[in-house]
A and B are shown apart, each in its own frame.
Chain A
Amino acid sequence: MKNTVYLDYNATTPIKPAVVELACEIMSAVGNASSVHSHGRHARKHVEGARQQVANLAGVTPGQVIFTGGATESNNAVLKHFTGKRILVSAIEHPSIRNALPDVEFIPVTPDGLLDMDAFEKMLDEGTPPALISVMMVNNETGVIQPVAEITRMAKAKHKDIFVHTDAVQAAGRIKIDFPALNVDYMSLSAHKMGGPQGVGALIAAPGAPVTKFIHGGGQEKRQRAGTENVAGIAGFGLAAELAVSDMENYQRLLPWREKLEAEIKRIAPEMKVFSQNAPRVASTTALCLAGLPAQTQLMSLDLENIAVSSGSACSSGTFKPSPILLAMGAGDEDATSTLRISMGWATEETDIDRFIEVWTKIYERACEKTKQSA
């Protein structure tokens, strides 16, 4: 077996060893967090401890944190609370925002992948005042950091009753998250994008921000979200959140590697384009576009060499589709289907990048050879 290189952290991150250990340990102990006896109390302690850890990640109080089955659920819950009202979301949101309700309006983005503030202002000024705005902190495909604080400021200056939600899934562990400073009302988080387990996330709500009961049943999560807690998952999430904060400085080591990657690829293929290269981005993500070299071919060839990357968000269940995010940024169909997303994280090493460059170069040269032959 050849060495595997995993460069698809924005799809899911490897779980940090301490998190695996903790979750396994909790899984081997019995206990329902709602039970009165000592087993129940132990389970409950893990859940509440995790709530504190997740609250610390976002700079909120534990009472503001509702655990969910993942960010898709959190995103859905927020949008559905505003059913029937005017909702504006950025055109580059995750499908769990874009498809949560049938009639959300899309705020355009610039070719650099940043929210188009002029267009946004116009949408705020025209028509019925919107009830909810949702703009992600960091885009999953380009890594662009959106000016959420500024967006909130503009929205709330124009309409004091407006609510603002941010999907912070790709921000956690990459950049500092300060819920109060962003002045948002809701935030979604996902454990598996920050070294935690899959199937657990959180919805954070500002004091007084309404949340509709979104799963009915027992009294868990302050009666908002019924169902026996995923105790091991939640505890793992808590630890992952704590580590996301403490490891964040370490995260900056990725920046020179990304710069090296982009520079090397551009040296080999000068026609290569990096999406959003001039916008503020997190250090871990790059979207490389080489028009005419289909991402699906690159992805398969890389996979057969045990290198895992992505051609966009993995929502379309393993098939290859032009990325709606890149299309929203004004990319043509060819560019959008010729873009590879490389995303790094806590366990990435420089040799991973070297190996990627080595294998990618071979794929590129083969494609050039073929073009020459058919010409």
Chain B
Amino acid sequence: MGFAKAPKDTRVVVAMSGGVDSSVTAALLHEQGYDVIGVTLQLYDYGDAIAKKGACCAGQDIYDARRVAEERDFPHYVLDYESNFREAVIDDFAESYLKGQTPIPCVRCNQTVKFRDLLDVAHDLEADCMATGHYVQRLINEEGQVSLCRAVDDTKDQSYFLFATTQEQLEFLRFPLGGWDKDITRQHAQRLGLMNADKPDSQDICFVPGGDYAKVVKKLRPEAERPGDIVHMDGRILGQHKGIIHYTIGQRRGLGIGGGHDENNDPFYVVTLEPDTNRVIVGPKEALARDVIYMKDCNWLTRGCTDISVKLRSVSKPEKATLYQKEDGSAEIHLHEPQYGIAPGQAAVCYEGTCVIGGGWITETKNKHYAQAA
């Protein structure tokens, strides 16, 4: 952990979600003798979110985290962050869809509630560091500079979601699982006898059970679901949509306009979402090609790199690109090869080799060749 004192004198706050990864993180550090304090955040009203009557206060995840702490015998607290989460994450999530964007609430949550508010609590508790169960590596170079790098297990790497971590936060954070693959974590969970050892990984956004994000957006912003026209890039009206919140850039299925756009019957894709006119613009796949990306609210762990690779969504591979960092917190990325279906609201996360140099939120994209704004 990098402290010049005994583990028992080193206080570690572990952010526990109730999942296997953070449970193993906490239990292992405790086993190693650290002064571990588990903290779980109550982020939303579980009864409300899962629309189940009578579900009070704590959801299953909070229960699991608490049980692990009880069994392993270290202190554990549940903190109520409902209002912070609502303001910093959920409202932003709904707002983003209304603007025709595709948000990533998990990054917002890491950026605000977890690494700002919870970190603050860790400082209040006089912790030496805060550990999480994220699969990323925190490496220190010869000059003592701390960097954030991809996990050893490529399939588990979560560096994309942590691009907004600041240098100061990074110095205080620890990610003990980043050097492992998930199998090792599971083995430790078994060995430690954690009651959630076999719990499946979470797939959904935590406050969107079942993945029905449109339902959540509608509940928050009832005016969000306004029907409108599905329009071809050439101006022809092809059909009606149920509200732009139901669409994402690059989407092909579920447009309900049938048929293709040419003799080969090639499918239509969502090319642009226009919140002002409430229109969904569709076109052929080629129209999605983009090679220039504009970003805002960037966070940089390293400055001055230009030759980078960039990830444009959590599941996509890094692509070679040239980065232009600007003083006002914005940046521009020129991709070596055009990419398809880049959605504003997602993050563009830049890497030099395996290390995160930072990233920002995608605001706009362009295709140099057609010089066509999107």
Contacts and interface: CB of A to CB of B under 8 A. Distances in A.
A297 B121 contact: yes
B205 interface: no
A366 B126 CA distance: 9
Interface stretch (B72-80, B175-183, B188-196, B337-345): B72-80
Contact of B78 (A297, A319, A366): A319
B79 A304 contact: no
A366 B78 CA distance: 22
Interface string A334-375: 000000000000000000000000000000001100100000
16 contacts: A296-B121, A297-B121, A297-B125, A300-B37, A301-B124, A301-B125, A303-B75, A304-B75, A304-B125, A317-B57, A317-B58, A318-B66, A318-B78, A319-B42, A319-B57, A320-B80
B235 to A, nearest CB: 52
Q: Which 10 A-B pairs have the closest CB atoms?
A: A317-B57, A319-B78, A320-B80, A297-B124, A319-B80, A300-B77, A319-B42, A316-B57, A317-B58, A318-B78
B56 interface: yes
Contact of A304 (B37, B58, B66): B37
B87 to A, nearest CB: 13
Interface in B77-130: 77-80, 121, 123-126
Interface secondary structure of A, over-half rule: helix
Given A318-B66, A319-B42, A300 B125 contact: yes
A328 to B, nearest CB: 19
Nearest to A317: B57
Contacts of A297: 121, 124-125
Contacts of B66: 318
A317 B123 CA distance: 25
A260 interface: no
Nearest to A320: B80
A329 B121 CA distance: 28
Contacts of A317: 56-58
Contacts of B125: 297, 300-301, 304
A230 to B, nearest CB: 25
B57 A296 contact: no
A321 B66 CA distance: 18
A335 to B, nearest CB: 15
A285 B224 CA distance: 50
A320 B57 CA distance: 10
Contacts of B126: 366
B154 to A, nearest CB: 37
A296 B56 contact: no
Contacts of B42: 319
Interface string B282-318: 0000000000000000000000000000000000000
Given A318-B66, A320-B78, A367-B124, 17 more contacts: A296-B80, A297-B121, A300-B37, A300-B124, A301-B125, A303-B75, A303-B77, A316-B57, A317-B57, A317-B58, A319-B42, A319-B58, A319-B79, A320-B79, A321-B80, A366-B126, A370-B124
B11 to A, nearest CB: 9
Interface in B27-45: 37, 42
B15 to A, nearest CB: 14
Interface in A286-316: 296-297, 300-301, 303-304, 316
A367 B120 CA distance: 11
Contacts of A301: 124-125
A320 B42 CA distance: 9
A15 B126 CA distance: 34
Contacts of A319: 42, 57-58, 78-80
Contacts of B75: 300, 303-304
B361 to A, nearest CB: 27
A336 to B, nearest CB: 12
Nearest to B81: A320
A337 B37 CA distance: 22
Interface string B246-283: 00000000000000000000000000000000000000
Nearest to B58: A317
A370 B37 CA distance: 21
Contacts of A367: 124
Contacts of A304: 37, 75, 125
A297 B124 CA distance: 7
Nearest to B83: A333
A296 B77 contact: yes
Interface in A112-153: none
Nearest to B66: A318
Contacts of B124: 297, 300-301, 366-367, 370
Contacts of B57: 316-317, 319
B367 to A, nearest CB: 46
A300 B126 CA distance: 11
Nearest to B57: A317
Nearest to A319: B78
A300 B80 CA distance: 13
Nearest to B123: A370
Contacts of A320: 78-80
Contacts of B37: 300, 304
A82 B66 CA distance: 38
Contacts of A318: 58, 66, 77-78
Nearest to A298: B124
A366 B75 CA distance: 21
B97 to A, nearest CB: 29
Nearest to A367: B124
A320 B82 CA distance: 10
A316 B37 CA distance: 21
Contacts of A303: 75, 77
A327 to B, nearest CB: 14
A366 B58 CA distance: 31
Interface string B21-65: 000000000000000010000100000000000001110000000
